[in-house]
Amino acid sequence: MKWLLVSINFQQEIYELWNNEEKLLTLVCQQGTGALRIATADEKRVFIIRKEGFLRSRTALRNEYGIRIGYLTHESNQDNWGIIDFNNEKFNYSIQKGVFPELVIYKHAEPVLICELSGNSAKKSGNSNHDSLVLVLSWYVFSSVAKKQIAEYA
């Protein structure tokens, strides 16, 4: 899998998630509002992303109705590894630096998913947008959207 930064301006950033030669989803990040607009082949959703917590800050993903469906917590000052809690299931993640940074999601110390982050997204946008990419990827992979598509291919 691979995230590609398609377009960027002062109001929004547009990303696409690709798996080999197939586009899985389009993500539009609204800078001022924290709204994430997601379009897959058969579904369009709006999510809200925001920082929460006082002593231990975390980034939360909320659905259209304001219900928290997942969050991530950074385990260091470097924002490149931490914990994802999605649908009451915990995963670890790390973003490995390189020419094209890679996001690796682990379950019980075994890699579950590896996704390349666009080199453009690492240079033009900060680590805060990595939070959006990590949470949206988690929603896509661990939600019923991906399970429906996997069942169709089986």
The answer on pLDDT for 64 being more than 70 is: yes
Calpha distance 142→3 (Å, rounded): 17
Domain ranges (residues) in the chain: 2-153
Q: For residue 80, what pLDDT is reported?
A: 78
- Give per-residue pLDDT as tens, 122-131: 444 455 568 8
Q: In angstroms, what CA-CA distances link 70 with 54, 62, 140, 142?
A: 18, 7, 12, 11
Q: pLDDT digits over 16-50, tens only?
A: 999 988 999 999 998 888 899 999 888 899 999 99
Cβ contact 93:72 at 8 Å: yes
**For the chain, what is the mean pLDDT?**
82
